[in-house]
Amino acid sequence: MNIFTFLLRTTVVATTLLLPMLASAAESAKLRQSPIGAFGGEIAAPADNPGFFGTASLTYLNICRVPDGNGDPIALSARTVPLPIGTPTGGAVPNGTYPLSVPAGTIDFNQGQTQLNLVGGYLSESLYGDGRLSYAINVPLIKQSRTFIAVEPAGTVAPTPAPLRAGHL
């Protein structure tokens, strides 16, 4: 075994061992996955034997939250809304005197997905530039179930407006 073969094998083994660790470093060892079918024809690698080939792959994903850019669960932000009360009061109370404070809300997301990929193709017998031509087709069959619930708590008005007295409308 020459030095080139040794280095090539060592590189392949080291890459195979280290790659899962690098991929798991994202978001506290939680991998990101697209909520749509992301597994396609690249799952099927034809053998070196020319002729027809085919494969089937079955995958199941369960996405239980949507993270923000920092990896935290995404949420509706708290906000203060100035209430436009100038027109209803005839300008007696200026707009924004009584703002509505809305606390942060929550988003609950859950998606289950089952995907069956049927891949078939043909690897040419003739060589073209030291390689073979490959023709492949992928038929993805996807079943999804998704729930999305956004909850926004009730807001509060501050300062509390004085109650209206009878006959002052």
Kindly report, residue by residue over 57-110, the tens digit of the pLDDT: 888 888 888 887 787 888 888 888 887 777 776 766 777 677 888 888 888 888
Quote the pLDDT of residue 159: 73
For residues 72 and 114, what is the distance between their CA atoms, to the nearest angstrom?
26
Report the predicted TM-score, pTM, of the whole model to 2 decimal places.
0.46
The answer to whether residue 125 scores a pLDDT higher than 70 is yes
Indicate the burial class of 163 (C-beta count within 10 angstroms; 0-12, 13-18, 19 or more): exposed
Which residues lie below 8 Å from residue 125, measured CB to CB, with a gap of 6+?
A: 50, 51, 132
Kindly report, residue by residue over 128-139, the tens digit of the pLDDT: 888 888 888 888
- Give residue limits of the domains in the chain: 1-28, 32-157
Q: Calculate the CA dihedral of residues 139, 44, 113, 69 and round it to 10 degrees.
A: -120
